Amino acid sequence: MALQGILKKDFCSIYRENIAVSEELKALIRKTKSFQMTEQHLDAQRVSFAYGNTHFENGSITKETVIRESRNLKASREKNGRSAR
């Protein structure tokens, strides 16, 4: 099961069990259901994920390195006519 499905299942079970959830939290959760990530959000998330995983294993990796390589990969894919995603 995908992580999103697991989180949704867990949240739904908590929500239905009448565990105290503030109205503010409920409103934020409802708001996320219609949120559409922009390409900039996706890029930032990819960089963060890649940096976190590579820096953990190799301390010489910097965030700037990951950003540069992300841009190079995106440019290469666009040049070759493939989706940048």
- For residues 43 and 75, membership in a common domain is answered with yes
- For residues 28 and 43, membership in a common domain is answered with no
> What pLDDT sits at residue 1?
45
Mean pLDDT, the chain, whole residue set? 81
- What DSSP character marks residue 78? H
- Is residue 85 in a domain? no
In whole angstroms, give the CA distance from residue 84 to residue 78: 6
> What pLDDT sits at residue 5?
52
Domain count, the chain: 2
- For residues 59 and 44, membership in a common domain is answered with yes
- For residues 50 and 72, membership in a common domain is answered with yes
- Is residue 84 in a domain? no
The whole domain housing 9 covers: 3-32
Q: Is 63 helix (H, G, I), strand (E, B) or coil?
A: helix
